[in-house]
């Protein structure tokens, strides 16, 4: 398949940066990502969540992460992850779950938590999946109304790329098991329903610190790995490649091309080693950002 280069848009997806001013374990990789962006000048950068190291209540880490994103020299947008505003109410595993205060902190520091961007012949939509099936957060209904209205303005045949933090599912979209690794069925169905009749062609996520790419029913699903570190010991079940990096995505009139970048030059930090040694990431020794 040959894409018309003049109509392609180069979208960079970076995810799970896990940045911190006082525990800057992965700052070395972020510096190299910024160098790559400066050299390649993609059309747009999507940051798909978990910009902060670990604790969604550490304002200092969120503010530091915002300053790091401001160093990106091309247009960019970000969506929050579980370490930024708290875990999902129903399926999350973290003790700190999403609430109105944590979401508001994101808005105060980063601005929007859901957005639309038109890139060439494509429409890109970023959604805050942490507030789905929240069982009471007003922001969930507000986002749902915004999504319906936004999609009404998108022509039915215009390709759409959807960016979320957590995968929609692990094995198949009708699975009912509730797990922290992905959206539960109710959240998944509520998110996807408004896209009926539209040309949803791409769903891209982060969260799992794994690279995965597959097609299902006309939709390409991409999992961006972490720019910072891999998770879990090697003997834990993986759905994708246990690697660090980021995604270089080309969107054109004829289709999608993508590749994993960075696994050959970023440091493959192993977060589980640090956790085993110190008990948790936040109990690890301080390491100031340069």
Q: What is the pLDDT of residues 110-168, one digit of tens each?
A: 999 999 999 999 999 999 999 999 999 999 999 999 999 999 999 999 999 999 999 99
Q: d(Cα 76, Cα 89) in Å, to the nearest integer? A: 28
Residue 290 pLDDT > 90: no
Q: What is the pLDDT of residues 144-159, one digit of tens each?
A: 999 999 999 999 999 9
- SS3 of the chain: the string is CCCCHHHCEEEEEECCCCECCCECCCHHHHHHHHHHHHHHCCCEEEECCCCECCCCCCHHHHHHHHHHHCCCCCCEEECCCHHHHCECCCCCCCCCECCHHHHHHHHHHHCCCCEEEEECCEEEEECCHHHCCCCCCHHHHHHHHHHHHHHHCCCCCCEEEEECCCCCCCCCCCCCCCCCCCCCHHHHHHHHHHHCCCEEEEEEECCCCCEEEEEECCEEEEECCCCCEECCCCCCCCCCECCCCEEEEEECCCCEEEEEECCCCCCCEEHHHHHHHHCCHHHCCCECCC
Bridge partners (DSSP) listed for residue 13 = 46, 247
Domains of the chain, first to last: 7-283 (3.60.21.10)
Q: What is the pLDDT of residues 176-215, one digit of tens each?
A: 999 999 999 999 999 999 999 999 999 999 999 999 999 9
Residue 2 pLDDT > 80: no
pLDDT band at 5 (very low <50, low <70, confident <90, very high): very low
Residue 6 pLDDT > 50: no
* pTM of the full structure: 0.96
């Amino acid at each position: 398949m040959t894409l018309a280069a003049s109509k392609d848009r180069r979208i960079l997806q970076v995810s799970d940066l896990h940045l911190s001013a006082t525990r800057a374990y992965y700052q070395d990789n972020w510096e190299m990502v910024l160098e790559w962006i400066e050299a390649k000048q993609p059309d747009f950068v999507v940051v798909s969540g978990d910009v902060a190291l670990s604790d969604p209540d550490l304002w200092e880490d969120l503010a530091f992460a915002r300053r790091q994103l401001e160093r990106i020299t091309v247009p960019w947008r970000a969506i929050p992850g579980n370490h930024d505003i708290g875990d999902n109410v129903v399926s999350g595993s973290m003790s700190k779950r999403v609430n109105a205060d944590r979401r508001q902190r994101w808005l105060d520091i980063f601005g929007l938590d859901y957005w639309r961007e038109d890139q060439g012949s494509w429409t890109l939509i970023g959604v805050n999946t942490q507030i789905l099936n929240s069982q009471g957060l007003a922001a969930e209904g507000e986002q749902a109304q915004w999504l319906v209205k936004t999609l009404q303005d998108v022509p039915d045949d215009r390709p759409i790329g959807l960016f979320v933090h957590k995968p929609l599912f692990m094995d198949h979209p009708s699975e009912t098991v509730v797990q922290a690794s992905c959206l539960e069925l109710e959240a998944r169905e509520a998110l996807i329903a408004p896209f009926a009749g539209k040309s949803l062609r791409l769903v891209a996520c982060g969260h799992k610190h794994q690279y995965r790419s597959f097609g299902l029913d006309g939709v390409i699903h991409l999992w961006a790995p972490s720019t910072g570190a891999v998770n879990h010991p090697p003997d834990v079940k993986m759905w994708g490649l246990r690697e660090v990096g980021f995604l270089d995505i080309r969107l054109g009139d004829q289709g999608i091309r993508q590749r994993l970048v960075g696994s050959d030059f970023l440091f493959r930090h192993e977060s589980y080693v640090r956790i085993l040694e110190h008990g948790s990431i936040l109990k690890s020794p301080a390491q100031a950002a340069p």
